[in-house]
Chain A
Amino acid sequence: MVSIESPADLAGMRAVGRVVGETLRELRQAVHRG
């Protein structure tokens, strides 16, 4: 179980979340382009 306990944890989760979200967005656009 992971719980955010510091600003560094929050920044780390935001950073990796941004990467995952942007990757998904690029893949979704690529699927639509074909």
Chain B
Amino acid sequence: MTTARLDALAAGVLRRRGARPVPATLLGFPGSCCLSVNDEAVHGVPGARRLRPGDVVKIDVTAELSGYVADAATTVVLPPASRRAVSLAACSRSALAAALRSARAGRPLAGIGRAVEAEVRRCGFHVLRELSGHGTGRTLWEEPSVPNVAGPGGEILSEGLVLAIEPIISARPDRVVLAPDGWTLRTRAGSLAAHVEHTIVVRSSRPLVVTAAS
């Protein structure tokens, strides 16, 4: 399967449900979803690339329906996969779970990044520090930024706040660079990357994960 074919599937699913792909409609992104493979961390452009056994595929979907926006991503490792690739994807999921446990009304926003960074370190992997989560709900990127690393931010999470929390991690210490296509952010040194994301509503108890069907 090519990434273009996967993107066409996404376009069809969204259309049948009456939703619009936000990257295409709002940003002019050349696709209905972002598909990033192996060392591509985020914002990969769908195209002729054929997915192969062992690939680490990041699928990122953002849609608008009736004026509301949600954003979610997952990492799929195609068998037969290396143990390291499987561990990297599992770490991204456990980092997201740790972040969700920290996202409570009355707690500091910085606790989310602290939780992600601690879990990723525990797994022996690395946060791609330039990339972060964000507020969402009415458009794609809104305040506040939600870093994936510990920071000094003193902002306190409030009941009802809508956030997209998204650990984006790499197998080795690395940074991201913009690919020649002008969209894809890939790791500079070619490290494998993983990415998971949910849109949540902050509450005093555990958050409401509105994209949980993924």
| Interface set of A (CB-CB < 8 Å, partner B) | 1-5, 9-10, 12-28, 30-34
Contact = CB atoms under 8 A, between A and B. Distances in A.
13 contacts: A2-B162, A3-B160, A12-B66, A13-B70, A13-B162, A18-B210, A20-B62, A20-B63, A21-B210, A21-B212, A21-B214, A23-B33, A31-B78
Nearest to A31: B76
A4 B201 contact: yes
B213 A25 contact: yes
A20 B143 contact: no
B72 interface: yes
A3 B161 contact: yes
A21 B201 CA distance: 15
Given A22-B13, A22-B213, 12 more contacts: A1-B144, A2-B136, A2-B142, A12-B65, A12-B68, A20-B61, A20-B199, A21-B210, A23-B17, A23-B33, A24-B213, A28-B74
B147 interface: no
A12 B72 CA distance: 16
User: Size class of B's contact patch?
Assistant: 35 or more
Contacts of B144: 1
Contacts of A30: 1, 6, 9
B13 A23 contact: yes
A14 B68 CA distance: 9
Contacts of B135: 1-2
